Structure 1
Amino acid sequence: MNWQYDNELDSHTNKTLDYFFQLSRYPRVSGNEAGIRQHLLTWADQHGYSHATDKVGNLVIYVPATSSCTTANRQAAGNKSSGEPNQTVILQGHMDMVGEKLPDSQHDFSSDPIIILRNGDILHADQTTLGADNGIAIAIAQMIASSDDICHPALELCFTVQEETGLIGAAELDTNLLNGRKLINLDSEDEGVITIGCAGGQDSHIVLPINRIPSDSQVEKLIPIVLGVSGLRGGHSGVEIHEKLANALQLLGRFLQQAKQQMESVNEPCMIVAINGGNAHNAIPRDASALLYCTPQGLTILQGLAADMQKDFAGEYYLLDQKVNLFASKLQVCPTHIIQQYNEAIDWQPMDSATTQKAINAMLALPHGVRSYSEAVPGLVETSSNFAAVHTKRGTIEFLCSQRSSLPSALKGISTAIDSVAGLMGASITHNNGYPPWPPKPDSGLLRLASDTYTALFGKPPHIESIHAGLECGLIGAKFPGMDMISIGPTIKYPHSPEEQMSIESLQKLIMFLLSILDSLCQA
């Protein structure tokens, strides 16, 4: 799979897309970056660039300044001995991607390449996430470093690991790897926007012990069925949490509660064995399901309930998620991926009544969506929570929530609310260390240069903003006091979902913008 050269695009954009297609051959979901890292190490060696990695697998490639760069700024990357103001520029992105796919896709993110498709100006993948978040950052950096017709100062290409699972690479970044004090993060998703700040965040992991009923003949007389929610759009919990997107786990919780009550009212057994849904901590869940035991008559009742509630949900989410689908089916006729999901659980006994109600209550009570908006910046989400995943093991059911806020106190507040839900359930809860917010610096010299450059190029000023999504700049800034940072990127829509797409035109504009910034830094 190769990029087909497009004569309508400039050579730098074509070269970037060629690199992006090459990267897409390497599986690189979070935690599986070894292949892409080795590919980049080989590429660096082929170009004669030195490089270094740290204990968690972050990679920095050192690229000397071009001969056309002003002599005063031709300082070799990685040299800390001169004591002179360092003109080295860090181009930063992450190697990993979110692996989301449509339910009927057979794609294996551990081994299969991403299949990229083009539709006019848009690049997207075949039933999976595209990985432009953040593979395009790596491709842009490779293009710049390998082009003879670009003027740039010394560069440090900093590629981190496991950004999508909590910014782990940035949190563990070895400070000895970087010399530069100007950083351009290439992980933003709106061309024409310069990001100068972001929220902090934290994940919460709840574990509820399961009591299962003893083996008895009653269960043997019942049939295994699946109740499910599918067809939702999903999306990035940092970028789209303010939109009225349905959360499959919340809808499934409502479905299960109504199913339990309706079946009890007619004295029909309805026994839940397992509940599963959601994937990444920063993706709004699109699909969720539960394995149950009931009678054939009970299945008919539940199928009627599914049809009624589907109409209700389609009305609630008619703008963005009107394709919501609720179903109640025998396990044996479900799609292959659902049958495989419950291969092991089919041998488990159902949960007892108390555990069942605790699990449903959690799905109804765990916070999801916007909690508050900023009073200082109209329209900016200040605090939110993403109810991200539920997964069942034989002895436990586990819930994952991901909170964000630009205010540390508010982040603590919403995490405390989740603590309270766990306490009411009788479940244990742990919080990861999280990541700090990136405080905006409107007087940044790099921002001023970038803003002036954009205005000169395109005849209008860029939009300058802080965002609710998490960026690695907060962690990097904490490690390197005085680091001057901005974040830019091409237009990427629907990240963290199989609908992810990138605009080629926006990529070309971004490249023009970035190259002009680097050229200006050479002339400084």
Structure 2
Amino acid sequence: AMAVADDPDAVHGPLELLMTIDEETGLTGAMDLDGSLIKGRIMINLDTEEDGQVYIGCAGGADSTAELSISRRTALIGSVPLKMTVRGLKGGHSGVDIHENRGNAIKITVRTLLAALEKELELDLISIDGGSKHNAIPREAFAVFRLPGASVPVMREIIDTKLAGFKEELGSMDPDLEIVLEQLEDGENLEKPMNIHARDRLLHALNGIPHGVLAMSREVPGLVETSNNLAVVNTEETRAVVITSHRSSVMPSLFAVQSQVRSICVLAGATVEVHDAYPGWKPNPDSPIVKTMVEVYREQFGKEPELKAIHAGLECGLLLEKVPDMDIVSIGPEIRNPHSPDERVQISSVQRFYEAVKGVLAKLA
């Protein structure tokens, strides 16, 4: 936006440049925007991650944060501290990539620990931590626990069995999954595991919270309608904090998932804070700015772009709430593996994206 405003070769009428903050961490900039500041009524949203795609709609979303109190006790005599690490998963964006059924490191960790308890191992859980962002699929997770020394070989066998099952489930989507068990040097910070009741409440809540696609759209073929992301778990001395991210293009369905997650957490004895939802953006393929964008793509690139509604969240729905008569379209360059350490942009697509922006501005001038 700043480049085209400063480009002497760009043809355009009066421009307003709207820069918002915290789009990736809660859309707070758009939420707190005073709509009366905006004078224009045509918006080109520069937040699309697929070259040659024109976004005309998106899902709404909300987050929930559950807090579960933890009581602790003295470790069993003769037990040894261990750390189990789940790693090697792709992770990714909880909207864009959720339909691929990528592995969730928190879920894999919990299922492995529950398998050990089903084998009646005396597993004293100290902590479980995984995920880093509300809108990213967790790619790593860590569990620290104690076991009687004689049970460590059995735990390794359980891990090997579960790993083989997970690899069968995930197939070629996450071929690099690893579950690593290592013994830790004992210390004061490892001598106070959770009591059994707290351990079981936490693990069963994490196991029960849904993750992945929950419904597909009945109107738009191939579009995920509703999903849930078990995003983050952090363990502290006296509490565990769990963050989940809910998305849907149908707001009643979004609130239903939010309520379901809340019920699961409340049954486990947790308190739940429900954060404000942001609205979806209903597709309008007959919008004038969409038609102009299609015309520009046809002229510049010799083909029409694909019009698409996405399951990820954009600020467009929020901005339409504040300026209801705004006509919006969204485009951008090719971005691969968003919200992961492998995120990157395809440089050649940036030039095409920029030329498309200039082209549509010239049409509107």
- Cα distance in 2 between the residues matched to 1:270 and 1:319: 32
Q: How does 1:56-75 map to 2 (within 5 A)?
A: none
Provide, for residues 33-76 of structure 1, a one-character-per-residue CA deviation record: whole Å limited to 9, x for no partner. xxxxxxxxxxxxxxxxxxxxxxxxxxxxxxxxxxxxxxxxxxxx
Query: For residue 485 of structure 1, what is the aligned residue in structure 2?
Result: 328
- Cα distance in 1 between the residues matched to 2:69 and 2:149: 30
- Cα distance in 1 between the residues matched to 2:28 and 2:236: 26
- Cα distance in 2 between the residues matched to 1:235 and 1:332: 33
1:198–1:437: 8 Å Cα contact kept in structure 2?
A: yes
1:269 aligns with 2:129: no
Q: How does 1:316-335 map to 2 (within 5 A)?
A: 316-332=169-185
For residue 222 of structure 2, give the secondary structure of its aligned residue in structure 1: coil
1:409 aligns with 2:252: yes
The CA deviation at 1:278 is 0.5
- What is the count of residue pairs matched by the alignment? 365
What is the identity, as a one-letter code, of the residue corresponding to 1:283? A
2:248–2:311: 8 Å Cα contact kept in structure 1?
A: yes
- Cα distance in 1 between the residues matched to 2:35 and 2:185: 54
Bigger relative CO (Cα 8 Å, ≥ 6 apart): 2
For residue 284 of structure 1, give the secondary structure of its aligned residue in structure 2: coil
Q: How does 1:337-486 map to 2 (within 5 A)?
A: 346=189, 349-486=192-329
What is the identity, as a one-letter code, of the residue corresponding to 2:274? H
Larger radius of gyration: 1
- Gaps spanning 5+ residues in structure 2: where? none
The CA deviation at 1:427 is 1.1
- Cα distance in 1 between the residues matched to 2:34 and 2:253: 30
The CA deviation at 1:402 is 0.5
The CA deviation at 1:300 is 2.5
Q: How does 1:116-195 map to 2 (within 5 A)?
A: 141-195=1-55
What is the identity, as a one-letter code, of the residue corresponding to 1:304? E
- Cα distance in 1 between the residues matched to 2:9 and 2:24: 34
- Cα distance in 2 between the residues matched to 1:348 and 1:152: 67
Query: For residue 137 of structure 2, what is the aligned residue in structure 1?
Result: 284
The CA deviation at 1:348 is 6.0
Cα distance change, pair 348–484 in 1 and its aligned pair in 2 (3 A): farther
2:81–2:190: 8 Å Cα contact kept in structure 1?
A: no
1:244 aligns with 2:101: yes
What is the identity, as a one-letter code, of the residue corresponding to 2:136? A
- Cα distance in 1 between the residues matched to 2:154 and 2:43: 59
Q: How does 1:191-230 map to 2 (within 5 A)?
A: 191-213=51-73, 215=74, 218-219=76-77, 221-230=78-87
- Cα distance in 2 between the residues matched to 1:521 and 1:457: 16
Identity among equivalent pairs (%): 38
1:382–1:405: 8 Å Cα contact kept in structure 2?
A: yes
- Cα distance in 1 between the residues matched to 2:319 and 2:184: 48
1:307–1:327: 8 Å Cα contact kept in structure 2?
A: no
- Cα distance in 2 between the residues matched to 1:402 and 1:513: 33
1:314 aligns with 2:167: yes
- Cα distance in 1 between the residues matched to 2:97 and 2:206: 21
The CA deviation at 1:408 is 1.1
The CA deviation at 1:152 is 2.1
The CA deviation at 1:170 is 0.6
- Cα distance in 2 between the residues matched to 1:145 and 1:309: 56
2:125–2:146: 8 Å Cα contact kept in structure 1?
A: yes
Normalised by the length of structure 2, the TM-score is: 0.96
For residue 171 of structure 2, give the secondary structure of its aligned residue in structure 1: coil
More displaced 10-residue stretch of structure 1: 168-177 or 400-409: 168-177
- Cα distance in 2 between the residues matched to 1:286 and 1:472: 26
- Cα distance in 1 between the residues matched to 2:226 and 2:174: 23
1:368–1:386: 8 Å Cα contact kept in structure 2?
A: yes
- Cα distance in 1 between the residues matched to 2:300 and 2:216: 34
Query: For residue 503 of structure 1, what is the aligned residue in structure 2?
Result: 346
Query: For residue 132 of structure 1, what is the aligned residue in structure 2?
Result: none
- Provide the alpha-carbon RMSD of the alignment: 1.7
